């Protein structure tokens, strides 16, 4: 669907793998749905779908940014830390009202993204190392700003977390809007093309005269801003700012969603619809195991199996 | 692989420096949180949190200075070193450290403190530092139970008595350390079960929000709860046990799944307050009313006790963090040459609808 590629698909790969790569994640979601409808009581209720969608919304939003970064052959490990940072900054500035607090959050997130982008684009540090530094530092800063959980009572923030339009929670609407926006940017804009070109081959993009550094910085800033949105939404839902635990391991969930969704880690291709489906797949898997009260360790094993399957399917085409 | 030109490097550095400066400036200057307006912040552990020891069983083992091989000193005028394990970022640790500091101030004892920030190697060097700085007595809140040999040897060489609080050190009592003061987590689980049986009438389906996997607090609080339920209320069925990792967010998410798939659930036992508050948030989000589902939690933080006052939580079993009075009393008795128990169990109170409002000040 919202998949853009710059290189032609090699025609000699086996068709099954191609099909799995393109549609495996949707098949997985459909399969889990079918299984759940049969075996899980109270699964086919609007309330249940609402719960799952609300829980997965922050993961989707973070994964969107992660997909962009991975499209440039990078990775952003600092997203969880940015979520924590967003949570603590929200709590710190909420006294001025919701909107000013959100602006300050945006400034902090943009700062983190800028630092990531500058390290990658100008200093030439590898993305995994650059963002690792910000992952550690970002959470540290979040904890310095707000050392312990703080309850928030701002009514505007509360309605952001639990309000809805015609029964559809704001969280879902925001996640859907952002997904459409990012898909549009990747498929229909020059910026999207440049991003994929850089991911395909940075030296070639540079030689072709593309603004490589600018694009990279914008991508990392966008990723950090999306993570901050997710952090604020998660905080709004919890009605408390908890920088110690918010966003823990979020970077791994986001990378899993992106990879399972059929975006190769080697860059040059971004599959937004697949990323959304990947996040939904993991959410459904977790929900299924929790609803049937299976030990939590099973969730981890099941996730690992999904990742291995996804990587196996991607094996044929990810290589260059 | 990239041509990082001279110019770009020159450019990059100011960017990073300016960023760091900007962050530091904005962060510290004009922050304004919701609470700033309405000041009057509680000071944790300020309320008298007197502490009682559970009466020791007759015949329990004790320790004296002579048996330990130390020397008698006067606690007044002595220097006590306190090593905290985790950063004071949660109410329990904040109240624990505060209680030690308050008691030291009250008794006029010189106190040296250190915080290991959840790093075990730092805690080992912290304690060695405390010894080097001249601590005559040590109070340790250990991060781990094992790996204390270097410290114990150093302390033994100087004949410094050690009291450990809230977690145990795996070593010989009255030889490597004097006493261990802690809550009885199994008993907390049992008392939570009592409260749950009372609230639900001993019938129906209940769920457990477990703590982090592989944590002794989790296993002991679970064991006590299950034991008591099997023994006293066979009609109460535990149909759901999932981990909430001791965090509010996970508690909320798991509870959302729970009330979806098991609408008949009558009670939720959360193994700490944070998960219980997450469960409350989930119930509110699902449009339930206070009292629809009985929630019992363990810890006794202010937020949870407020939840009892508001009617969302049926009961909070306290896990008392105020080790100060008991630790210093133990050291005092010990250094005077009298005998002290090797295992001291701190008395935990409880909050229910009857006492939550007037005891809110005691919560930490």
Dmax (CA) for chain B in angstroms is 79
Higher pLDDT, A164 or B72: A164
Sign of CA dihedral B212, B213, B214, B220: positive
Tell me which chain B residues have a C-beta less than 8 angstroms from the C-beta of A124: 1-2, 4
How far away is chain A from the Cα of B303, in angstroms, using its nearest Cα?
Answer: 9
d(CA A114, CA B359) in angstroms, rounded, equals 49
Sequence-separated (6 or more) residues with CB below 8 Å from residue B298: B188, B189, B192, B221, B270, B271, B272, B273, B316, B317, B318, B319
ipTM of the complex: 0.85
Provide the token pair at A181: 């926006």
Question: What is the average pLDDT across B153-176?
Answer: 86
pLDDT tier at B337 (50, 70, 90 boundaries)? confident
Residue A142 makes CB contacts below 8 A (sequence gap 6+) with A81, A84, A85, A87, A88, A89, A243
Alpha carbon of residue B23 to chain centroid: 32
Length of chain A: 320
- The Cα of B205 is separated from the nearest Cα of chain A by a number of Å equal to 13
Q: Which residue of B89, B252, B281 is in closest CB contact with A244?
A: B89
Residue A148 has a pLDDT of 81
Nearest chain B CA: its distance from A248 CA (Å): 11
Instruction: Provide the pLDDT for residue B2.
Output: 45
More confident residue, B195 or B36: B195
Tell me the HSE value of B213 on the side-chain side, using a 13 A CA sphere. Answer: 8
The pLDDT value given to residue A306: 82
CATH of domain B185-319: 3.40.50.2300
In the predicted structure, residue B55 carries a pLDDT above the cut 60: no
Q: Residue B57's pLDDT is what? A: 57
Q: How far apart are CA B158 and CA B139, in angstroms?
A: 15
Hey, what domains does chain A have and what are their CATH numbers? 14-36+47-318 (1.10.3470)
CA distance, residue A18 to nearest chain B CA (Å) = 32
Reported as a single tens digit per residue, the pLDDT across A116-168 is: 999 999 999 999 999 999 999 999 999 889 888 888 888 999 899 888 888 89
Topology (CATH level 3) of domain B62-183+321-347: Rossmann fold (3.40.50)
A239 and B94 within 8 Å at the Cβ level: the answer is: no
Two structure tokens written together for A90 = 């929200």
Cβ separation of A147 and B249 shorter than 8 Å? no
Average pLDDT over residues B287-305: 90
CA B57-B343-B319 angle, to 5 degrees, is 95
Query: pLDDT class for A67, splitting at 50, 70, 90?
Result: very high
A163 touches chain B (CB under 8 A): no
Assign A303 a pLDDT band (cuts: 50, 70, 90). Answer: confident
pLDDT in tens, A216-233: 999 999 999 999 999 999
State mean pLDDT over A88-103. 93
The percentage of chain B sitting over the pLDDT mark of 90, rounded to a whole number, equals 31
> What is the percent of chain B where pLDDT is above 70?
85
With a CB cutoff of 8 Å and minimum separation 6, the contacts of B322 are: B45, B49, B51, B95, B96, B99, B364
Residue A53: per-residue pLDDT: 94
Beta-carbon separation of B242 and A91 below 8 A:
no
Distances (CA, A) of B314 to A13, A18, B123: 62, 56, 38
Interface test with B, best of A89, A122, A126, A204 (most B CBs within 10 A): A122
Taking the C-alpha atoms of residue A134 and residue A78, their distance in angstroms, rounded to an integer, is 6
Taking CA–CA distances from A36, the nearest residue in chain B reads B261
Strand partners, B113: B82
């Amino acid at each position: 669907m919202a998949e853009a590629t710059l290189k032609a698909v090699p025609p000699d790969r086996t068709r099954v793998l191609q099909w799995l790569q393109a549609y495996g994640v949707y098949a997985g979601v459909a399969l889990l749905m079918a299984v759940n409808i049969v075996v899980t009581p109270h699964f086919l209720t609007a309330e249940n779908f609402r719960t799952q969608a609300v829980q997965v919304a922050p993961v989707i939003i973070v994964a969107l940014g992660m997909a962009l970064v991975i499209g440039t052959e990078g990775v952003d490990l600092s997203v969880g830390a940015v979520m924590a940072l967003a949570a603590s900054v929200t709590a710190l500035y909420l006294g001025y009202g919701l909107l000013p607090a959100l602006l300050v959050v945006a400034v902090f997130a943009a700062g983190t993204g800028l630092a990531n982008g500058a390290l990658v684009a100008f200093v030439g540090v590898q993305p995994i190392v650059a963002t690792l530094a910000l992952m550690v530092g970002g959470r540290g800063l979040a904890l310095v700003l707000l050392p312990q959980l703080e309850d928030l009572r701002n009514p505007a923030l509360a309605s952001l977390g639990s309000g809805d339009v015609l029964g559809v929670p704001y969280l879902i609407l925001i996640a859907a809007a952002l997904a459409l926006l990012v898909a549009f940017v990747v498929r229909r804009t020059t910026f999207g093309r440049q991003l994929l070109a850089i991911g395909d081959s940075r030296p070639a993009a540079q030689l072709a005269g593309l603004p490589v550094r600018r694009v990279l910085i914008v991508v990392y800033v966008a990723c950090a801003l999306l993570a901050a949105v997710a952090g604020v939404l998660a905080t709004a839902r919890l009605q408390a700012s908890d920088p110690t635990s918010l966003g823990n391991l979020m970077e791994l969930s986001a990378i899993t969603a992106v990879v399972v969704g059929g975006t190769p880690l080697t860059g040059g291709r971004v599959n937004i619809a697949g990323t959304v489906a990947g996040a939904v797949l993991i959410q459904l898997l977790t929900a299924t195991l929790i609803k049937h009260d299976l030990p939590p360790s099973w969730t981890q094993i099941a996730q690992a199996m999904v990742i291995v399957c996804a990587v196996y399917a991607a094996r044929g085409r990810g290589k260059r | 692989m990239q041509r990082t030109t001279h110019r770009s490097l020159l450019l990059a550095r100011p960017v990073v420096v300016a960023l760091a400066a900007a962050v530091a400036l904005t962060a510290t200057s004009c922050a304004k949180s919701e609470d700033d307006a309405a000041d009057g912040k509680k000071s944790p552990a300020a309320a008298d949190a007197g502490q009682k020891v559970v009466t020791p069983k007759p015949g329990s083992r004790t320790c004296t200075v002579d048996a330990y091989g130390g020397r008698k000193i006067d606690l007044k005028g002595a220097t006590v070193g306190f090593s905290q394990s985790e950063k004071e970022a949660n109410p329990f640790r904040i109240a624990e450290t505060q209680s030690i500091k308050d008691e030291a101030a009250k008794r006029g004892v010189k106190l040296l403190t250190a915080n290991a920030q959840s790093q075990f190697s730092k805690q080992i060097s912290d304690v060695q530092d405390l010894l080097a700085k001249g601590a005559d007595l040590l109070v340790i809140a250990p991060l781990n139970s094992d790996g204390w040999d270097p410290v114990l040897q150093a302390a033994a060489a100087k004949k410094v008595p050690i009291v450990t609080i809230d977690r145990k050190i795996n070593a010989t009592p009255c030889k490597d350390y004097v006493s261990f003061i802690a809550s009885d987590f199994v008993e907390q689980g049992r008392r939570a079960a009592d409260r749950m049986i009372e609230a639900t009438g001993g019938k129906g389906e209940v769920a457990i929000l477990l703590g982090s996997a592989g944590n002794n607090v989790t296993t002991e609080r679970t064991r006590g709860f299950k034991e008591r339920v099997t023994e006293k209320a066979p009609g109460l069925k535990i149909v759901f046990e999932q981990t909430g990792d001791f965090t509010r967010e996970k508690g909320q998410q798991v509870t959302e799944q729970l009330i979806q798939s098991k609408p008949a659930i009558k009670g939720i036992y959360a193994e700490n307050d944070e998960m219980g508050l997450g469960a409350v948030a989930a119930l509110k989000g699902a449009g339930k009313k206070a009292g629809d589902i009985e929630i019992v939690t363990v810890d006794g933080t202010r937020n949870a006790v407020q939840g009892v006052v508001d009617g969302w939580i049926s009961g909070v079993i306290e896990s008392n963090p105020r080790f100060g009075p008991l630790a210093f009393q133990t050291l005092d008795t010990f250094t005077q040459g009298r005998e002290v128990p090797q295992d001291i169990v701190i008395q935990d109170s409880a909050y229910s609808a009857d006492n939550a409002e007037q005891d809110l000040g005691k919560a930490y």
